[in-house]
Structure 1
Amino acid sequence: MSKVPDRFLGYAFCVGDVLLELDMDFHIISADGAIKNTLGAVNREQSFLDLLTESGRGLIESSVKMLTGANRLGPFVISVGQEGLAKTEFAVFLAKLPTAEDRIYMVLSKPYRLGKSDSKNAPAQKTEDKKREFFNRLEGLFEGNPDAAENMLVTVLEASAGQQLDDEKRLDIERYLQSFSVGGAHATQIADDKFAVVHDKTTPKKEAADIAAELARATGVTLKGATIDAAEAKLSETDSMRALIFSLQSFASGNEGFAVDQIQKNCSTLIGETTERVRAFREVLDEGRFSLVFQPIVDLKKATTHHFEALTRFELPPIIKTQWEMIRFAEDIGLIDEFDYAVVNLAIAKIRKMLKKGGSPGIAVNLSGRSLSNQGFIFELMSLLRGNKDLKQYLSLEITESAKIHDLDLLSEILDEIRGIGFKVYLDDFGAGAAGFQYLKKLKVDALKIDGAYIKDALTSKEDRAFLRSMVTLCKDLEIVTVGEWVETQEHANLLREMGVDYGQGYFFGKPSPNFLVAPTAAAS
């Protein structure tokens, strides 16, 4: 067998146990590494496929069809070993080189080296985590890769009404779909009764109806499905990929207009309309067709304006109807980080402009929890904050979230770094949606904004007042400043002050305005 150059071996062995070079018929040309301990005795005449299970052969064969010389696939797990002997699970990476299109290169790694459990002992993965990982792999597979788009289909499936799926049934369906998905890594459960798979157009079981029929025979579960042609959806284009992921999220959530039969009939329209919304949003950002308005936040004891919250006002494109829809769409489509960065920059520019005129009030800017899960955004934000450290007494950041933040440990590290630079951090809308007391256990923040839903009815609701008192007491014990939202009357302000809330925000003190208007209460004090 030919010898692979040492520099390639060194590169491969950083993560792998075995490096294989195969021809296009899967015959082993060279094998380096812990061969005897993993593959046993191999020879040039042997096909690598002979070392695999039936499902493993299918995964490797379908994956190789996707290799272009410019991409790589993996890791996915297969069982490898000589016939008649126990097989061992390996995480596999596959690639071709542009200079050797008639060769297949493969690295086999023990799953634990990549922080993965083998499939037999792997803990159950949450559906949200599976879905997020699936979407990440989708982007890696298609973006900038027109060859992949030309050869791939994306199928979504939903269990028919009235069927009960337990965890074992769901896992059976997922494993079946993975057995012929691209690389074995592009199929997953995306909701309790919904699944998605990416597969090759040349795969015999390529139509949704065929997949559903096979699943029914294999698992006893009746499903209906819809298939999206990646080429027609132009999934190699970034915005089209975002549109597909948005459509899949909407399908998983059961949003109106995204049922299986509607996706089947109106796939091009659904993705096309979403792509148009993405382009409209990008134009608003690129052309700076948005501005900031400022709402006062008042010290309840002193009756003086403490600082202002910066809120965004867009020049809405016709395809998007409300300000809230614009923000929520940016979060769902994965553009919120670009928007958040633009808003922080605009707020910094506003503060510097005011300082040149003699002085600036404090401004709090909203940052989505989703933006703070994006490593690229985090790097740019930290660089921006360090470059404007002299504004730390004027600028603070409010962390918002319309969906549950998944990695609180990571977010905690980020917030610690922001506070370490000197900027204050607020946690917005505490008590609403997915936010809960576990956030305060994990996250060190300077201030907490109590969701207005608890305040709006607190004058008449004993339960809301009890919740308010518990929040305020907890924050005082943790030495966290509190801000009450939706303060609409003098009675609301009085109640919050009596309970010990530090600051208030709402129409009683002032509506959002392009100018820094001092709250009437503050002016009268």
Structure 2
Amino acid sequence: MANIAGKVPGRFLGYAFCVGDLLLELDKDYKVLNADGAVKSTLGITPDQSFCFLDLLTEKGAGIITSAAKTLTGANRLGPFMVSVGGEGAVRERYSIFMSKLPHAPDELYIVLSKPYRLGQKESSNVSSTVSPAQLEENKAEFFERLEDLFEGNPEAEDNMQVTVIEAGEGERLDTGQQRDLENYLKSFSVGGSHAAMLANDKFAFVHERKEGSEKVDYVETIKKATGVALEAATINAADANLSEKDSMRALAFSLQQFADGSDGFDVSEIAAKSDELIGGTAERVRAFRKVLDEGAFSLVYQPIVNLKSNDVHHYEALARFDLPEMISSQWEMIRFAEDVGLILEFDKAVLYRTIRKIRELGNVGETPSIAVNISGRSLSDTEFKLDLVATLKGNKDLKRYLSIEITESAKISDLDSLGEVLSEIRNEGFRVYLDDFGAGASGFQYLKKLQIDALKIDGDYVRNATESKEDRAFLRSMVTLCRDLGIVTVGEWVETKEHAELLRSMGVDFGQGYYFGKPNAGLVMPKAKAS
């Protein structure tokens, strides 16, 4: 058996060995053509032996490898997933496997085997006895990434694969053991043993081969017999849903998230009846928003934030406005949808860059305005976006007096510790950071404990009825007192009347924003001061 080192440049071997213990090149029958690395210690054979890699695996492991190989085209890659490997008579060890093909060698399969600890994985493939909400979100995100890697630009996988969603039957309550068993069963049925995930406490999804006729498998009945759990399921044909197209893949991920959240129209029965319609309609909305991005088809308007003591404009908030497509009813819905389908990162970058240009343009012809730009909590959960944001701000450090960042929270921020580090870096560069809509949605006092911010915007729901509601006034006072003790500036939203402004001023709120002071305006017109 030839050694692979004679064919592959050393830099590629070095790259592979950063995470791998063994590199294999297989032919279409899974016979090992070349091997490099710990061949003897890993496989229990000598490097010059000719053998079939499947012979070193369990029946389950061989099934994982063969089903995964069918989805490889040279344009995608799979892994990591776990298999047990070992020669005849030897104790098999668990390895994480990555698989791929090269476009110019469609009949050859390349595999990297890594000890799980090298990838930060535990030896056991079981999920922990309890899954925290943060871990569940992380597992879903990983599952969606694997889906994209599997299908995007890969019509062959699309033709051969299906996505099935499963939900515990009505009245079924799953304990952690049942959740673990269900997820493990689904992984064993899934492509490569790795394309399955728990989406919610009683909801799962997995990708599997499309089988017809006598080969067709009733997965629900099989799992029900093994676990005793009554299940409901719906299957989405990848080809019918056009999952090789990027927008359709985003639409599928959105639909699965809606299924996990229990949103209307996305339960098992609806998915079973009209999955193509659900995904097709969502893909149309994705394309509409992508057109906005590609053509820059949005404008910015600016609403003043006023100092409640002096009645002078302190700064403006930049707000995006679109020509809405027919299927989207409001500006907020458009933004929320962009978050859900993963397009908000690109949009937040576009708004940031346009705001920077606006500040510079106005600074060249007159007084430079101060503007706060909204950044989604979903964007700030993305590592690449955070790095790009910090780099952009450092490149425009001369605008630190005029540009501030306002964190919006229509999507829950999952990693507050990581976000806190980024915000500290932004503030160290001299830029101010605001937290929007405090008291609404998922936000809580833990945000103030974890995040160092300059100002907090009190959600308008607490302001709108505060002149009549004793309870709302009590909430307002507690927020203002806490922020004062922490040295955080406060901004009251939805200030629509003189009475609202006077109430906030009497409570010690620093700034106000709302129609009473000025509506969003494209021209950055300074409103006249309101009388006290």
The question of 1:143 aligning with 2:148 is answered: no
Distance 1:281 1:21, change over 3 A: closer
Q: Deviations over 1:108-140 (max 9, x none)?
A: 111111111222686454322211110111111
CA distance in 2, matches of 1:497, 1:206: 73
1:453-501, CA deviations, whole angstroms, 9 ceiling, x for partnerless residues?
2333334444433433333233233322111212233333333223322
C-alpha distance in 2 between matches for 1:57 and 1:157: 26
**Does 2:396 align with 1:388?**
yes
Residue pairs, 1:25-44, within 5 angstroms: 25-41=29-45, 44=49
* Aligned counterpart, 1:50: 55
Moved more, 407-416 or 24-33: 24-33
Mark the CA change 1:205 to 1:233 in structure 2 (over 3 Å): closer, same or farther: farther
Aligned pairs, how many?
523
The reply on whether 1:195 has 2:212 as its aligned counterpart is no
Aligned partner of residue 427 in structure 2, secondary structure:
helix
How many angstroms does 1:202 deviate by? 4.5
Are the counterparts in 2 of residues 30 and 44 from structure 1 also a CA contact under 8 Å?
Answer: no
Amino acid at match of 1:165: L
AA aligned to 2:445 is F
The amino acid of 1:134's aligned partner reads F
For 1:203 and 1:171, locate their aligned partners in 2 and report how far apart those are by CA, in whole Å: 29
Judged with a 3 Å threshold, the aligned counterparts in structure 2 of structure 1 residues 117 and 3 are, in CA distance, closer, same or farther, namely same
Equivalent-residue separation in structure 2 for 1:498 and 1:320 (angstroms): 40
Letter in 2 for 1:280: A
Moved more, 339-348 or 96-105: 96-105
What residue is the counterpart of 1:444 in the other structure?
Answer: 452
Judge conservation of contact 1:200–1:206 (CA < 8 Å) in 2. no
Counterpart of 1:33, as a letter, is G
The CA deviation at 1:279 is: 1.7
**1:483 matched to which residue of 2?**
491
Report the alpha carbon displacement of residue 75 of structure 1 after superposing the two structures with TM.
0.6
Deviation at 1:366, TM superposition (A): 0.8
TM-score by length of 2: 0.91
Shift of residue 517, structure 1, vs aligned partner = 4.3
- Whole-Å Cα distance in 2 between the matches of residues 203 and 479 of structure 1? 66
Give the distance between the partners of 1:454 and 1:410, measured in 2 at CA.
29
Counterpart residue type for residue 293 of structure 1: V
Deviations 1:418-449 (CA, angstroms, capped at 9, x unpaired): 32333211111112111122222222222111
Change (3 A) 1:277 1:476: same
Identical aligned residues as a percent: 62
Residue 10 in structure 1 maps to residue 14 in structure 2: yes
Structure-2 residue corresponding to 1:59: 64
Aligned to 1:339: 347
Match for 1:114: what amino acid?
L
CA distance in structure 1 between the aligned counterparts of 2:157 and 2:499, rounded to whole angstroms: 62
Cα deviation per residue 1:303-338 (whole Å; 9 max; x = unaligned)? 222111122221112221111111111111111122
| Offset, 1:383 | 4.2
Which amino acid in 2 is paired with 1:310? A
TM-score by length of 1: 0.92
- Residue 71 in 1 paired to residue 80 in 2? no
Instruction: Note the residue ranges of structure 1 that are not aligned, 5 or more in a row.
Output: none
- CA–CA separation in structure 2 for the residues paired with 1:39 and 1:474: 62
For the residue of structure 2 that corresponds to 1:5, the secondary structure is helix
Choose which of 193, 196, 199 in structure 2 pairs with 1:184: 193
Question: In structure 2, what is the equivalent of residue 110 of structure 1?
Answer: 115
Amino acid of the structure 2 residue aligned with 1:381: L
Query: CA offset at residue 367 of structure 1?
Result: 0.8
Q: Is the 8 A contact 2:302 2:520 kept in 1?
A: yes
Instruction: Tell me if the contact between 1:27 and 1:44 (Cα under 8 Å) persists in the aligned partners.
Output: no
Give the gaps of 5 or more residues in structure 2. none
How far apart, in 1, do the equivalents of 2:84 and 2:103 lie? 28
**SS at the partner of 2:233?**
strand
Does 2:137 correspond to 1:128? Answer: yes
Match status 1:161 vs 2:206? no
Counterparts in 2 of 1:318 and 1:101: CA distance versus 1, 3 Å: closer
Find out whether 1:492 has 2:492 as its counterpart. Answer: no
Cα–Cα, structure 1 residues 308 and 98, in superposed 2: closer, same or farther, change >3 Å?
A: closer
Please give the per-residue CA displacement for 1:236-263, whole angstroms capped at 9, x wherever unaligned.
1111111111111112222222222222
Check 1:95–1:120 CA distance in 2 against 1; reply closer, same or farther (3 A cut): closer
Aligned twin of 1:20: 24
Distance 1:257 1:121 in 2: 32
User: Map of 1:212-227 to 2, 5 A cutoff?
Assistant: 212-227=220-235
State the distance in 2 between where 1:11 and 1:361 align. 49
2:97–2:114 CA contact under 8 A, matched in 1: yes
1:243 aligns with 2:247: no
Q: Secondary structure at the match of 2:3?
A: coil
CA contact under 8 A between 2:158 and 2:244: conserved in structure 1? yes
CA–CA separation in structure 1 for the residues paired with 2:96 and 2:75: 21
- Evaluate the alpha carbon distance shift between residue 370 and residue 136 of structure 1 in structure 2; reply closer, same or farther with a 3 A threshold: same
Q: Is the 8 A contact 2:71 2:150 kept in 1?
A: no
Q: Tell me the amino acid that sits aligned with residue 472 of structure 2.
A: D
Residue number in structure 2 paired with 1:312:
320
**Displacement, 1:345?**
2.5
Quote the Cα distance in structure 2 between the aligned partners of 1:516 and 1:71: 48
Task: Between 152-161 and 37-46, report the one with greater CA deviation.
Answer: 37-46
Contact 1:22 1:105 in 2 (8 A): yes
For the residues of structure 2 that align with 1:241 and 1:122, how far apart are their CA atoms? 26
Residues in 2 aligned to 1:20 and 1:232: alpha-carbon distance in whole angstroms: 35
Within 1, Cα distance between the matches of 2:226 and 2:251? Answer: 32
Check the 8 A contact 1:153/1:229 in 2, yes or no. yes
Superposition pairs of residues 330-409 of structure 1, within 5 angstroms: 330-409=338-417
Judged with a 3 Å threshold, the aligned counterparts in structure 2 of structure 1 residues 301 and 91 are, in CA distance, closer, same or farther, namely: same
* Aligned partner letter, 2:322: F
Q: Secondary structure at the match of 2:253?
A: helix
Code of the aligned partner of 1:323? Q
CA–CA distance in structure 2, aligned partners of residues 210 and 284 of structure 1: 43
Q: 2:440 pairs with 432, 444, 449, which one? A: 432
